[in-house]
Amino acid sequence: MPLPADIPEVVIDRLPIYYRWLARMDAEGRSTVSSQELGDALGVTPAQIRKDLAYFGRFGKQGSGYSVVRLVEELRLILGLNRRWRMVLVGVGRLGRAIASYQGFGPDGFDLVGVFDASEEEIGGEVGGITVRDVREMESSLGAEPADIGIVAVPAEAAQEVIDALVRAGVRSILNYAPITVQVPRGVRIRRIDPLLSLQSMTYHLSLETDERESAPLQASA
């Protein structure tokens, strides 16, 4: 299957959201869906949905909507969800443990295959059913048993070093929970999960509304 390489990142970010909703519709026995309904459910305009899916150039018939089963299957292929991915977790503090106990990975093809930490107290213990290994042995461990994805849940000051080690060990995709911007070489993809960044983009809107409310009666003086 030809996969277009120049899809904007914002479009790729929406595909898993489409996939998840459509897979649920499929499980409920729905056969077709319109861009309008998909858009209403997900807070995206129908025009945007048609444009997003058109990048992959094969879905939908004018007037009759999209075939749910076909769209689900195509999105599965496009997103690489037709195979299993090997993940390692670094850091088993509160957050790392919460991540390890997340039930959503397995059913969607993500297997946690290794857990690492720097603390002597944690090494040898068990997290998510997996024995915690010494992060200093991570590179050689991954040399023997490679992983596709690294999840980093270490303190900010340790993040760059851990991520460098993951990259040296051949990991090409990193999910970073550490509250810091880190550098990765070209060809390695990193996503940041940071509640503060999400909060700060919401307060933009909250401020705007507060300002509007406060200034509305005084509009003439603006």
Q: Name the site residues for a second copy (rule: CB under 8 A).
A: 1, 3, 5, 9-10, 12-13, 15-17, 19-21, 41-42, 78-81, 83, 85, 87, 93-95, 97-99, 101-102, 104-105, 108-110, 148-149, 151, 172-173, 175, 179, 181, 189, 191, 193, 195-211
CB of 62 to a second copy, least distance (A): 27
Helix (H) or strand (E) holding 127: strand 126-127
User: How many Cα atoms within 13 Å fall on the side-chain side of residue 115?
Assistant: 23
- The nearer residue to a second copy, 75 or 138, going by C-beta atoms, is 75
CB of 3 to a second copy, least distance (A): 5
Return the residue matching tokens 């993040």. 159
CB of 189 to a second copy, least distance (A): 5
Q: What is the DSSP string of 5-18?
A: S---HHHHHHHHHH
- The nearer residue to a second copy, 92 or 118, going by C-beta atoms, is 92
CB of 24 to a second copy, least distance (A): 9
Helix axes 9-27, 68-78, angle to 10 degrees: 140
CB of 18 to a second copy, least distance (A): 11
Query: Which has the closest alpha carbon to 66: 53, 79, 55?
Result: 53
- The nearer residue to a second copy, 59 or 105, going by C-beta atoms, is 105
Of all residues in the chain, what percent are helix, strand and coil, respectively (each to 5)? 50, 20, 35
Task: Give the whole-angstrom CA distance, residue 72 versus residue 82.
Answer: 11
- The nearer residue to a second copy, 13 or 137, going by C-beta atoms, is 13
